[in-house]
C-alpha cells in the first residue's frame, strides 16, 4: 500500500559508517535529507560476533563535522580501555560506537529497505519495503558490500542448506554441531575458522594458496621503518599512505591504475594480526588445495580439490562456507531500475564517479566500497569515511542551495506588533 509521497532533497541509502558520516555532515550544513537502512546493519548481521576489527582503533573513526567524536573519545567518555594502535577492537565495541555516533549526530535513521529506485520527472522515485514512496532530488548509495558477495561457480548447483558465504552469519549458532569446511585465505576465513573452533565446532580450513598469511602484530616501529614505509589508516607504505590521504587525486589516474590500486595486493588476502595464534596449530588447515568441483551426497557436501602436484583430494562436510570475498557489481543491486542501470557508466562493474561521487546519472551518487574503483582503496575502509562525508556534503549543500526558492516576505512578517 502506498503510504505517502513526500519529497526530500537528499535520500541517503545505508546507515553504516559511510551513510552515518555523510548524514552527520549534511545535518550540520542544514541540507534537507533522510537516511534509510539498518543502523550498522552489516556489522550486526553479516560479521560473526567475536570478530576483531582489522583496522587500528585510530583508523576506525566515523567522520563527524567537528572531528570531536573519535572512537577514542567514545571509549574515554565511558571509561573503556583504549590504545590507539595496540588494541584489538572487538566488533561489539565498534557497533556500540556506531550507535552512540548515530544518537549524537544522526537522530533520524529510518529502518527501511529500498526496494526500487527509478527516475521520475527530474528526480528519483524510491520505493521502500513498507510501501512508502519518496521522491528525492539526489540519492546517495552507501549500501556497503553485502549485495556483492562472491561465490565460486562450483557452488552454483549445490542445495542452499549445504553452503553459505562468510557474510551470511551474524550469529554462528546455526552451525553448532555440524562439520564445517571454510574455504578461503583472507581475514573472514581465518576469523570464522577460529571462532567456530572455539565454539567446539568441528571445522577445517581449505586454502588455495601455499601459505596462510596474517598481518603483523602491532608494535612500536623504528625510525627507519616509519620513514621507508610510513603508517597510514589503511596499511604501511608510501603507496597506501598516498591512497589514504589523497583519494581525490587517485581519481585522476588512468582507469587501469585506479582499478589496480583499488585491489592492491598489499591489502590481502590477509588474516587479522590477532587471529594467527587462534588458527595455527589449532584448526586443521589444508594449504595449496584448489577447488575443482562440489557435489551433494546423502545430505553432505563433497569437495573435489587439486593440489600443486596435480593430486586430487576429496573432503566431506555437513556444510561449506565460502569466505571468497566480494566484487562490486552494481547490476546486482536489485532495486535499480533497468533504465537507470543502463545509464550508469561502469568501471569493472563499479560505477564510474565524478569528483563529487556522482555517477553518469545526474543526482545519483555512490560512496563506500562501491567507489573504490574511482577513489582508490581507502573507500574499502572505515578510515575513508572522512572524504565523501566532508566533500560530498559540501557539494550537495552548494548545489541544492541553488534550488531553494528565495524567501518570500509576507506582510505579517514585517509588522508583528505586540
Ligand X SMILES: Cc1cc2nc3c(=O)[nH]c(=O)nc-3n(C[C@H](O)[C@H](O)[C@H](O)COP(=O)(O)OP(=O)(O)OC[C@H]3O[C@@H](n4cnc5c(N)ncnc54)[C@H](O)[C@@H]3O)c2cc1C
The residues of the shown chain that bind ligand X, judged by CB under 6 A, are 13-19, 36-38, 41-43, 47, 53-55, 60, 113-114, 142-146, 167, 188, 335, 368-369, 380-383
The smaller minimum CB distance to ligand X, of residues 36 and 163, is found at: 36
DSSP result, 84-142: TTT---BHHHHHHHHHHHHHHH-TTEE---EEEEEEETTEEEEEETTS-EEEEEEEEE-
> What is d(CA 95, CA 114) in angstroms, rounded to the nearest whole number?
22
Q: Is 158 left (phi over 0), alpha (psi -120 to 50) or beta?
A: beta
DSSP, collapsed to helix, strand or coil, labels residue 407 as: coil
Pairing of strands 123-128, 114-120: antiparallel
> What is d(CA 154, CA 233) in angstroms, rounded to the nearest whole number?
36
Cβ 257 to ligand X shortest distance, Å = 22
The smaller minimum CB distance to ligand X, of residues 89 and 162, is found at: 89
Cβ 158 to ligand X shortest distance, Å = 22
> What is d(CA 338, CA 347) in angstroms, rounded to the nearest whole number?
18
The smaller minimum CB distance to ligand X, of residues 146 and 356, is found at: 146
What Cα–Cα distance (Å) separates residue 55 from each residue in 273, 283, 417?
Answer: 10, 24, 60
The smaller minimum CB distance to ligand X, of residues 41 and 247, is found at: 41
Cβ 310 to ligand X shortest distance, Å = 33
Cβ 272 to ligand X shortest distance, Å = 8
Cβ 51 to ligand X shortest distance, Å = 7
Beta bridge partners of 149: 326
The smaller minimum CB distance to ligand X, of residues 187 and 305, is found at: 187
DSSP state at residue 25:
H
Cβ 394 to ligand X shortest distance, Å = 19
Cell numbers given for 162:
549445504
DSSP, collapsed to helix, strand or coil, labels residue 305 as: strand
DSSP, collapsed to helix, strand or coil, labels residue 225 as: helix
The smaller minimum CB distance to ligand X, of residues 31 and 39, is found at: 39
> What is d(CA 194, CA 281) in angstroms, rounded to the nearest whole number?
11
- The answer to whether the beta carbons of residues 271 and 190 sit under 8 Å apart is yes
The smaller minimum CB distance to ligand X, of residues 305 and 381, is found at: 381
* Closest to 22 measured CA to CA, from 381, 378, 370, 385: 385
The smaller minimum CB distance to ligand X, of residues 113 and 314, is found at: 113
Cβ 187 to ligand X shortest distance, Å = 6
Q: What are phi and psi of 201, to 5 degrees?
A: -80, 140
Cβ 125 to ligand X shortest distance, Å = 15
Q: What are phi and psi of 346, to 5 degrees?
A: -120, 155
The smaller minimum CB distance to ligand X, of residues 13 and 182, is found at: 13
Longest dimension (CA), the chain: 94
Cβ 144 to ligand X shortest distance, Å = 2
Amino acid at each position: 500500500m502506498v503510504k505517502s509521497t513526500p519529497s526530500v532533497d537528499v535520500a541517503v541509502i545505508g546507515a553504516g559508517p559511510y551513510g552515518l558520516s555523510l548524514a552527520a555532515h549534511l545535518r550540520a550544513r542544514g541540507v534537507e535529507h533522510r537516511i534509510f537502512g539498518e543502523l550498522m546493519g552489516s556489522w550486526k548481521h553479516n560479521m560473526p560476533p567475536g570478530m576483531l576489527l582489522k583496522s587500528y582503533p585510530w583508523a576506525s573513526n566515523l567522520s563527524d563535522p567537528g572531528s570531536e567524536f573519535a572512537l577514542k573519545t567514545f571509549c574515554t567518555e565511558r571509561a573503556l580501555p583504549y590504545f590507539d594502535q595496540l588494541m584489538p577492537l572487538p566488533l561489539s565495541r565498534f557497533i556500540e560506537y556506531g550507535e552512540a555516533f548515530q544518537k549524537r549526530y544522526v537522530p533520524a535513521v529510518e529502518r527501511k529497505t529500498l526496494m526500487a529506485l527509478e527516475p521520475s520527472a527530474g528526480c528519483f522515485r524510491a520505493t521502500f519495503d513498507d510501501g512508502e514512496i519518496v521522491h528525492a532530488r539526489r540519492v546517495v548509495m552507501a549500501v556497503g558490500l553485502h549485495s556483492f558477495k562472491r561465490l565460486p561457480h562450483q557452488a552454483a548447483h549445490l542445495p542452499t542448506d549445504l553452503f553459505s558465504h562468510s557474510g551470511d552469519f551474524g550469529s554462528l549458532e546455526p552451525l553448532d554441531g555440524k562439520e564445517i569446511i571454510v574455504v578461503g585465505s583472507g581475514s573472514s576465513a581465518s576469523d570464522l575458522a577460529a571462532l567456530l573452533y572455539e565454539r567446539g565446532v568441528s571445522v577445517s580450513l581449505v586454502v588455495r594458496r601455499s601459505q596462510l598469511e596474517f598481518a603483523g602484530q602491532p608494535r612500536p616501529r623504528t625510525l627507519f621503518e616509519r620513514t621507508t614505509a610510513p603508517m597510514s589508516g589503511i596499511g604501511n607504505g608510501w603507496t597506501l599512505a598516498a591512497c589514504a590521504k589523497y583519494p581525490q587525486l587517485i581519481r585522476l589516474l588512468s582507469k587501469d591504475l585506479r582499478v589496480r590500486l583499488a585491489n592492491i595486493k598489499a591489502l590481502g588476502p590477509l588474516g587479522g594480526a590477532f587471529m594467527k595464534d587462534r588458527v595455527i596449530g589449532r584448526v586443521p588447515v589444508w594449504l595449496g588445495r584448489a577447488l575443482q568441483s562440489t557435489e551433494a551426497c546423502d545430505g553432505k557436501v563433497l569437495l573435489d580439490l587439486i593440489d600443486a602436484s596435480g593430486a586430487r583430494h576429496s573432503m566431506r562436510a555437513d556444510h561449506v562456507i565460502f569466505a571468497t570475498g566480494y566484487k562490486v557489481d552494481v547490476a546486482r543491486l536489485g532495486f535499480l531500475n533497468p533504465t537507470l542501470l543502463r545509464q550508469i557508466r561502469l568501471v569493472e562493474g563499479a560505477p564510474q564517479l565524478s569528483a563529487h561521487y556522482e555517477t553518469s546519472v545526474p543526482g545519483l551518487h555512490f560512496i563506500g566500497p562501491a567507489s573504490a574503483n574511482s577513489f582508490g582503496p581507502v573507500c574499502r575502509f572505515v578510515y575513508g569515511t572522512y572524504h565523501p562525508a566532508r566533500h560530498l556534503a559540501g557539494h550537495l549543500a552548494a548545489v541544492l542551495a541553488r534550488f531553494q526558492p528565495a524567501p518570500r516576505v509576507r506582510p505579517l512578517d514585517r509588522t508583528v506588533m505586540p
